[in-house]
Amino acid sequence: MAHAESEETVLAGGGPAAESSPFLRYARRVALIINLKAAIVSGLAVVSMLLCRRFGLLADFPLALIATAIIFPIVFSIGGAYKRRESALDHYGNIKAHGRAIYFAARDWLAETDPETLHSGGAVLGSLLGHCRAMFAGQRGRMIENEAAVYRDFSELSLFIKGLREKGLASGEVSRCNQYLSKMVVSFETMKHIYQYRTPVTLRAYSDIFILVLPILYGPYFAHLATEYSPGLEFLMPVLFSLILVGLDNIQDHLENPFDQIGEDDISINAEKFVERLSL
């Protein structure tokens, strides 16, 4: 499920990422981690180191402070964001699986298969997933409007199940279909909460401040280490130090919202392919 080439990671408005060359895919992935923010922080760290060398400000700061102040909180946030993404994938799979089960009930449990009924069921399921995609990939300001559209589709699906009973589906099987619908609603609500509630804002602000400040404050430490390096290598530590911190922060940032379609590992709801494969 986590691979960019899978069905879940096909972009909603275009083709799969696999259509581009391997080099371009690799370059895009690197750019998501080493970006303008990384360049700015690295530049500030180098300037700080040069100024400290010029004015003789040298110090051997403990690196344990970095692990305590930044690395541990970021890794903790990455773990939480990854778990939310995996949970969202599970519930997305539940919506698809139970929706397909309702479609199969309309196709296989009735005495006679009605093509019009199957078309109607496929259309409702496609609309439901399409509105889920619009909600999760859209702006939070339109969340109420998009959520209302999703629940209209759930209502249509409920009426579709009711229509199956009128077409002769046994009451016990209709009850089972309603259970499938209930589980779809539960999964949607869970995905909605993942979309709404993410890493605490205060923790994100804490990480952002220290990622910007510490590489600059550690200028005396980098200047101290530079006395032991060959000419030209004194820039290695501040740049590497900054790239590691900003890179981890960028990874956490791209995992933060698994629906925004910015990172290659985001969840993309492909409603069209789902409807196309219902008849398989």
The average pLDDT across 20-30 equals 81
Task: Give residue-wise pLDDT tens across range 221-255.
Answer: 999 988 888 787 889 999 999 999 999 999 888 88
Task: Note whether residue 223 is domain-resident.
Answer: yes
Task: Note whether residue 203 is domain-resident.
Answer: yes
**How far is Cα 235 from Cα 42, in angstroms, rounded to an integer?**
9
**How far is Cα 215 from Cα 90, in angstroms, rounded to an integer?**
39
Range of the domain at 149: 39-276
Task: Note whether residue 8 is domain-resident.
Answer: no
Task: Note whether residue 54 is domain-resident.
Answer: yes
Number of domains in the chain: 1
pLDDT band at 46 (very low <50, low <70, confident <90, very high): very high
How much is the pLDDT for 69?
80
Task: Note whether residue 29 is domain-resident.
Answer: no
pLDDT band at 49 (very low <50, low <70, confident <90, very high): very high
- Inter-CA distances, 69 with 6, 62, 198, 214, 233, Å: 37, 12, 21, 9, 27
How much is the pLDDT for 274?
95
**How far is Cα 279 from Cα 103, in angstroms, rounded to an integer?**
9
How much is the pLDDT for 11?
35
How much is the pLDDT for 153?
98
The average pLDDT across 161-186 equals 95
Task: Note whether residue 17 is domain-resident.
Answer: no
pTM given for the model:
0.81
How much is the pLDDT for 164?
94
**How far is Cα 89 from Cα 2, in angstroms, rounded to an integer?**
9
pLDDT higher than 80, residue 280:
no
Task: Note whether residue 117 is domain-resident.
Answer: yes
How much is the pLDDT for 156?
97
Task: Note whether residue 13 is domain-resident.
Answer: no
How much is the pLDDT for 20?
64
Task: Give residue-wise pLDDT tens across range 95-147.
Answer: 999 999 999 999 999 988 889 999 999 999 999 999 999 999 988 888 999 99
Question: Whose CA is closest to 222, among 10, 49, 34?
Answer: 49
